[in-house]
Chains A and B, each alone.
Chain A
Amino acid sequence: MSTATLSRWSRFRESFLWYSFKRDKIAIVSFVVFVLIVAAGVFAPLLAPADPYDLTQINIMNSELPPMWLDGGDPQFPLGTDAQGRDLLSTILYGTRVSLLIGFGAVLLQSLLGILFGLLAGYLGGRVDALLMRVADVQLSFSTLMVAIIVGAVFKASFGNLMFGEIAIYMLILIIGVAEWPQIARTVRASVLAEKKKEYVDAAKVMGFRTNRIMFRHILPNTLSPIFVIGTVQIANAIISEAALSFLGLGMPETQPSLGSLIKSGFDYIQSGSWWITLIPGLVLVVLVLVINLLGDWLRDVMNPRLYKG
């Protein structure tokens, strides 16, 4: 086992991926920032000075305090407080965690759906292909956000605010995941169409392997590189979608704020001078989405078969 992992590691060290990563400063910086943000989100309960979900730690008297380097700032709240008196640093840490969870969750869901439907459409062809791709076309002709707004509004109305608050995370993952699967399904289908004509697929058929085995064991591993590229960019898209929905009041409730709902809650106070409630979470969101997109760009360049044949 240890030799296998060792050889996999050394294989990675010799790979083109690692080689081009070492040479690309933007990729390195993006990756480091991304890892820092993810680590901050994952370890939020350890890092945050206060627990924004715990109402007993919140004092309304502390509301709208500016960051500590400004006049009237309190060193207890390094980035100031929001309108309810929550420590902004802690809330941002917890909010990043929620945003990342939704981003990764939604992309996981859309990859599952997209890979499954893309493989079926590409490999089986014919009617299955026509049906699945028309469904995808119909779905792509609606904007993701519009579908999400309608579904979100219906759910919010039927479950009520309190219930919606509890299941909001799963709802958002579901809505964004289901709305975006055609992107991945189309990419997978295109690579499956190219792969299934190759002779190793014929060889597998001659062996008598069943369709499922050929699709998932033989073709799927050869279509994964474009999925990685799209998946990366889709994480950023999902985070943005979630922020937009939250900003419209259809996302995470204010009791468990994501970055988007934090921005929204601060937006009401921006005219009264409390700019930090909106701007600091907004900055975190922009940096997070930017580094993910930069990493996606780098991955796209590395895995582009025209630039490098692997």
Chain B
Amino acid sequence: MTAPAPLVEIRNLEKRFDLSGNFLEQLRFRNGKLTRHQEYVHAINGVNLQVQKGEALCVVGESGCGKSTVARTVMGLLSPSGGEVHYGGKRIDDMSGKAVLPYRRKMQMIFQNPYASLNPRMTIQQTLEEPIRFHHPDWTKADIKNQVQDVMQSVGIDPDWGVRYAHEFSGGQRQRISIARALAVDPEFIVADEPISALDVSIQAQVLNLMMDAQEARGLTYLFITHDLAVVEHFGTRVAVMYLGTVCELADTATLFDSPRHPYTQALLSAIPRLEDHRPNHIRLHGEVSTPVNLPSGCVFHGRCPYANDRCRQEIPALIATDSGSQVACHAVEEGRL
């Protein structure tokens, strides 16, 4: 895991969203004193991830745990409040608009909602041609047309449909088109933010297989955001489990599903419904779900963790490699209590 340099590296990433509004709205009267009151949503709190070339790193977690924020920060749609994003060894999160342009071509994104991610006033041909023309100003019209045709064929959309508008397609077809748009500029790295969760179950597998075929044919690297554990098992090389803006376990897919170490991962995996179950035997978590506005001290999971002790309430655990090859951020695992 340490040998080759990672394609994408996220170091100590933090992202806060300001809830308190402008300066005047922050002023409050408390006990006769005028105080400034600021509140933040702590969406990501010190995430470290390395994406190796050619792998599909899945990020899973419950809603609101910061998975999508990680994806959007990596793509530069959000600027991080702290930490760094590196691509191929270069830091890209603080680059200017012009300097980052070559990386824009190499990094692409597939969005969750295929009904909103295509411009309704553009034909498919226009949608696919625009990025190619933008990133290859020296290409001739014929080159661009060929590229669009290739990429449409590779996602299973008839090139003759290019004259149509997005609303004339079904959800699955639209998602194929947005995959085609991402592939049109020949990227190396694709961030997919829940790309199949808005689709029918029958279509999900098709789109997933399409993405895996593209990975094989083009040597793509994925950062795949999802909450669907079945997809992770099918698709992922490695899995990062997130809880309240931190990574609590990072492991190879097989290792994680065989022997989850972190108490949250164990609870998460036990919640997968199985056909052979007569009575579901999942771990019930107790306690309050913490909000990202008032982060708990110490381990973010301690309020719901059955193994939490005083150390968990005070000290933030770091990701530590275990003998099974996974990395776990848990004091109990480190101390051998679990």
Contacts and interface: CB of A to CB of B under 8 A. Distances in A.
Given A202-B109, A222-B121, A207 B116 contact: no
Contact of A205 (B77, B130, B135, B163): B77
Contacts of B116: 198-200
A208 interface: yes
Query: Chain A, interface size: which category?
Result: 10 to 19
A218 B119 contact: yes
B77 A206 contact: yes
B38 to A, nearest CB: 18
A206 B130 CA distance: 13
B113 A199 contact: yes
B104 A208 contact: yes
B111 A199 contact: yes
A143 B1 CA distance: 70
A19 interface: no
Nearest to B113: A199
Interface residues of B, number: 30
A209 interface: yes
A306 interface: no
Interface string B147-175: 00000000000000001000000000000
22 contacts: A198-B116, A198-B117, A200-B117, A202-B77, A203-B111, A203-B118, A203-B178, A203-B181, A204-B119, A205-B76, A206-B76, A206-B77, A207-B104, A207-B135, A208-B101, A208-B105, A209-B130, A209-B134, A217-B130, A218-B119, A221-B119, A221-B121
Interface of A: 7, 198-200, 202-210, 217-218, 221-222
B192 interface: no
A222 B72 CA distance: 24
Contacts of A198: 116-117
B268 interface: no
Contacts of A207: 104, 130-131, 134-135, 185
A14 to B, nearest CB: 12
A209 B111 CA distance: 17
Contacts of B107: 206
Nearest to B117: A199
Nearest to B104: A208
Contacts of B72: 202
Given A200-B119, A202-B72, A203-B109, 6 more contacts: A198-B116, A198-B117, A200-B116, A202-B77, A206-B108, A221-B119
A200 B163 CA distance: 18
B88 interface: no
A210 B178 contact: no
B101 A199 contact: no
A221 B166 CA distance: 15
B100 interface: yes
B326 interface: no
Residue among B76, B109, B112, B135 having the largest count of chain A Cβ atoms under 10 Å: B109
